[in-house]
Amino acid sequence: MIRELVEARSGEEYELYARTINPQFMRVLRTIGFDRVWSRAQGQYLYDSEGERYLDLLGGFGMFNVGRNNPRVRAALIESLELDTPGSVQLGVSLLPGLLAEELLKRTPARLERVLFTSSGTEAVEAALKLGRAATGRSRVISTDHAFHGLTLGALSANGDPHFVERFGPLLPGFSQVPFGDLDSLERELRSEDVALFLVEPIQGKGVNLPPDGYLEGAQQLCRRHGTLFAVDEVQTGLGRTGRLFAFEHWGLEPDLVTVAKSLSGGYVPVGALLMARQVYDGVFDSLEHSVSHGSTFAPNDLAMAAGLATLRELDDANLVERSEQLGRRLLELTRPLVETHDAVKDVRGLGLMWAMEFGEPESGSLAWRMMERMQAGLFAQLVVVPLFTKHRILSQVAGHDMAVLKGLPPLVVSEDDLQEFATALDDVISKAGRPTRVAGLALRAARAR
């Protein structure tokens, strides 16, 4: 039935989506020339209806660490469908959730002893907020500026970027942000000993900001000293992305709460998880009456659990975590020289295969740059993303609102040749990005779309 539908209606994607789901988003895609009809995907590649191959450096916002349509994960899903597994009994349990929880706990510090499954990253964050409050009997939550933790109201209250928050207030009470990297500000907040949890991404997704030396270790110490739970959001950085299974391993951290989602199911099925210290579980689920203090109908479901088990095995067997570390180093080697050869490239940074290039006002030709930035902050990065896609068939993204930062989150199966191809393409598009014709072309298309 699905095959017939897809064959019969292929080509209608954009018109149908515009009519039934989100016409504004379709206008954006058309304006920037991203309105391709996609016919299939494999590993690090997408293929359009003309059979052209695109290199996917966006990776579904980081959900395809094991590669798109990974055969092992797909086989596990088919197998569990064929087994007619007895999932979601609700007043009863099946085997797969316990097996996935066991595998996750095996791979994380002994301090983490319990898992609560969810169906997305934002729900894992919501769970951390709720359970953190109940376990400590405190209500305040501290997060960092530029943080991104999801778009439901609790997670949104912890976000540090006003673009996501405007128009949706009032947010939850008790939330405040401190500058990422600033331990003094954090200590000032924690000293009052009324903070339930400090929530932090080990590397911030918006902008790909790496923590200064000693920051995360210091934050953990401060949390312990002041009775605050140390909650690390690994929704984007987890599952091999940064060259370790979890990014917190780079700094030898032992968080009380860890959120995971995105790539846990290989990108096939919605999934999320909150890993927690015994103290958190015991503080919330402290009686028979409180045995179901938090949950959601679909979490844990057997398909997500089967996909999670297959994903962890694939990460191990295909050595994807080491691969992420090695290829991440190679990507930096290939792209760092562009700082020297292009005036507008100010920084190249990353850890594992979480990579970014930051642009800034060139010494020469700063008038053109200033005009561009006046039209729209971060426009230069857009002028790189668009031709990378339309000319070089490489899908990438700008790292956040109003920022001149290009970001890459390729599937960890990406090859060295792909990275070489990306570096060569970058060199080409950056040299042309600031040219008046490029700027005018994009501005004209944007104006027509209004």
For ligand PLP, the closer CB: 94 or 296? 296
205 near ligand PLP, rule: CB under 6 A = yes
Among 65, 108, 120, 396, binds ligand PLP (CB under 6 A): 120
Contact 384, 29 (CB under 8 A): no
Apex 21 CA angle, 16 and 22, nearest 5: 105
145 near ligand PLP, rule: CB under 6 A = no
181 near ligand PLP, rule: CB under 6 A = no
For ligand PLP, the closer CB: 205 or 207? 205
258 near ligand PLP, rule: CB under 6 A = no
Stretch that binds ligand PLP, among 50-58, 183-191, 229-237, 316-324 (CB under 6 A): 229-237
Closest to 129 measured CA to CA, from 192, 178, 190, 172: 172
C-alpha span between 192 and 111 (Å, rounded): 25
200 near ligand PLP, rule: CB under 6 A = no
Stretch that binds ligand PLP, among 82-90, 115-123, 221-229, 340-348 (CB under 6 A): 115-123
Stretch that binds ligand PLP, among 118-126, 244-252, 414-422, 430-438 (CB under 6 A): 118-126
Q: How many CB atoms lie within 10 A of CB 229?
A: 27
Tell me the number of residues near ligand PLP by CB under 6 A: 14
The token duo for 243 is 């060259």
Residue type, 165: V
Among 70, 236, 242, 301, binds ligand PLP (CB under 6 A): 236
248 near ligand PLP, rule: CB under 6 A = no
Among 121, 132, 160, 218, binds ligand PLP (CB under 6 A): 121
Stretch that binds ligand PLP, among 30-38, 117-125, 160-168, 310-318 (CB under 6 A): 117-125
For residue 125, give every residue at least 6 positions away whose Cβ sits within 8 Å of its Cβ, in sequence order, or none: 149, 150, 154, 155, 158, 199, 233, 235, 259
C-alpha span between 164 and 159 (Å, rounded): 8
Enumerate residues 261-290 that contact ligand PLP by CB under 6 A: 261
Q: Residue with CB nearest ligand PLP?
A: 121
Contact 357, 347 (CB under 8 A): yes
C-alpha span between 104 and 118 (Å, rounded): 14
C-alpha span between 77 and 265 (Å, rounded): 10
C-alpha span between 212 and 202 (Å, rounded): 10
Contact 249, 261 (CB under 8 A): no
199 near ligand PLP, rule: CB under 6 A = no
- Residues lying near ligand PLP in the complex (CB under 6 A) are found at 61, 120-122, 125, 148-150, 201, 205, 233, 235-236, 261
